[in-house]
Amino acid sequence: MNSFTPNEMMTIAAARALSNEDVCFVGIGAPSAACNVARLTHAPGITLIYESGTIGTAPDVLPLSIGDGELCETALTTVSVPEMFRYWLQGGRITTGFLGAAQIDRFGNINTTVIGPYDKPKVRLPGGGGAPEIATSSQQIFITMKQSTRGMVEKIDFYTSFGHGDGGDHRARLGIATKGPVLLVTDLAVWRPDPETKEFTVVSLHPGVTRANVQETCGWKVAYAADVEETPPPTELELTTLRDLNERTARAHAAGKGS
């Protein structure tokens, strides 16, 4: 078996959830890595869209931000931000929104705004950007993040991006017709919402991970599916693709700092 890190397993497991037919609104960071691994392996036809208005982006290195020139240079076309949000996103043309999170609760509500009280936060985070709109207007949402009791909490400090609210049919009661979060991939497990309660439930443990590992890095009592599977380990192609992408990115960003 190939040797791999938990972070590599997380990125590759997330990439596998994407398909050739997806039109994916990509978040910077871990979501970007997963989406580009998918594009470079099993889903070459995927359409990657970034918040700055780039459509059909095929970056050779991972972008530092949505303003990274790599996105515009490799896109099929670039549209204005208002067109991106009004026509593409709010028009229902995005099949999957792929987000990260600083804090998340069991119902997939995301905080990327502040840690602590809003008026006197312990930490002020980057903010929502387009994520709140992505969370409600994309047909479905994938989330990826590393597990920790700081990040996976009983109650988030601020609702930046709405998931399933208080659970159940909360989205529908608010008139939100899209599916919301349907997948959470962490460095330890794959989670999907319970069909009725919408609470995220572990459906697959990554190789070598125990239920105790998952619980000790999660701030709520973890629920498990009736049949919990083991996530298939990364293939040689998946690992090589991800590592080559990360190496190219590191070289490019190091060169940029030195120029």
Instruction: Take residue 150 and report the two structure tokens written for it.
Output: 């700081």
Phi first, then psi: give them for residue 98, nearest 5 degrees: -120, 110
Catalytic residue of the set 8, 51, 70, 238:
51
Match 């903010």 to its residue by tokens.
127
Instruction: State whether residue 223 is helix, strand or coil.
Output: strand
Instruction: Take residue 221 and report the two structure tokens written for it.
Output: 């009592």
Helix axes 6-16, 236-258, angle to 10 degrees: 110
Whole-angstrom distance, CA of residue 29 vs CA of residue 52 = 15
Q: Do 40 and 59 touch, CB atoms closer than 8 A? A: no
**Residue 84 DSSP code:** I
Where b means 16+ CB within 10 Å and e means fewer, 82-103 reads eebbeebbeeeebbbbbbbbbb
Q: Do 101 and 135 touch, CB atoms closer than 8 A? A: no
Query: Is residue 247 annotated as part of the catalytic site, yes or no?
Result: no
Active site residues per annotation: 51
